[in-house]
Amino acid sequence: MTCSKAETQLIQSLTDRYGEGEASSISRIVMEDTFRYYRRSLDRDLSTEESINFEAISARLLSGEPVQYVMGVADFFGLKFMVTPAVLIPRQETEELVSEILKYLKSHVADRPTLLDIGLGSGCIGLTLKKKWPRLQLYGMEKSEAALAVAQKNAELLLGDDFRGTQLFQGDILEVESWDNLPSFDIVVSNPPYIPTTEKHLVPQHVQAHEPWLALFVESDDPLLFYRVIADFAGKKLQPGGMLFFECNEFNAVEVEQLLREKGFKDVRLQQDLSGADRMVRGRG
């Protein structure tokens, strides 16, 4: 089978599940990243080994497994991050959060600002910021040992020697007694679990089936748990004038904004993402 026929076959097989546009995008990623076949390039036959690999990839995709987990990599902010089912797949909305923090860093007076990324996951927030702003002193907290291992590997791959300038560690922000072991920070950022379990029916089935629930869902009786605790942490650990950045659930972002105002944060601002959904909240300590 030729590469072009393989791509056409994959698009056709995935269209019922994803629609033609997304099926085409997924197929392009597979053919380019795995088989180095680019549309409009010279067509060729798949080798026997490649054909076996193609069938295996196709089967995983047809089962609903996200292409990022199948390929083991996800694109984020122009960088490639290793991903496994232990971490969330980086989203475009989170790229917008990173952009906002970069804008803030460009006007920040500190020569080597300190930043804590709470709920590190793949490291896409903190490591992207460190890559784009090398003077940043990056700390990353992650509860899951498996997720932390992914973030550490991404740090090695993306930062090279600068990896030694980061401190990624296992920890649970809900363990208040551990806060005293941490220094103060110029910036605290988090994309915490924010989907109440009562809203899980709104989450696509392939996300529920494959992405880590620990990073997605929060108990419905206290959906602002992580925002409240992290705001309390930031109130204690932010340097004077330091900034707290959150990514939010569009359905309770206004409540997060009000929470920060009630806790005494200044210059609190709610921002929408490119689709117009309430997505980011920031406040000055």
Write out pLDDT tens, residues 217-233.
776 668 899 999 999 99
CB atoms within 10 A of CB 150: 22
Query: Of the CATH numbers 3.60.90.10, 3.50.50.60, 3.40.50.150, 3.90.1300.10, which one belongs to the domain with range 84-284?
Result: 3.40.50.150
User: What is the identity of the amino acid at 273?
Assistant: D
Predicted confidence at residue 108, as pLDDT, reads 75
CATH 3.40.50.150-classified regions of the chain: 84-284
pLDDT of residue 242: 95
* Mean pLDDT computed over every residue of the chain: 92
- Give, for all 285 residues of the chain, the pLDDT tens digit: 999 999 999 999 999 989 999 999 999 999 999 999 998 889 999 999 999 999 999 999 999 999 999 999 999 999 999 999 999 999 999 999 999 999 999 887 678 899 999 999 999 999 999 999 999 999 999 999 999 999 999 999 999 887 777 999 999 999 999 999 999 999 999 999 877 676 666 667 777 667 776 776 776 668 899 999 999 999 999 999 999 999 998 889 999 999 999 999 999 999 999 999 999 999 999
Structure confidence at residue 126 (pLDDT): 98
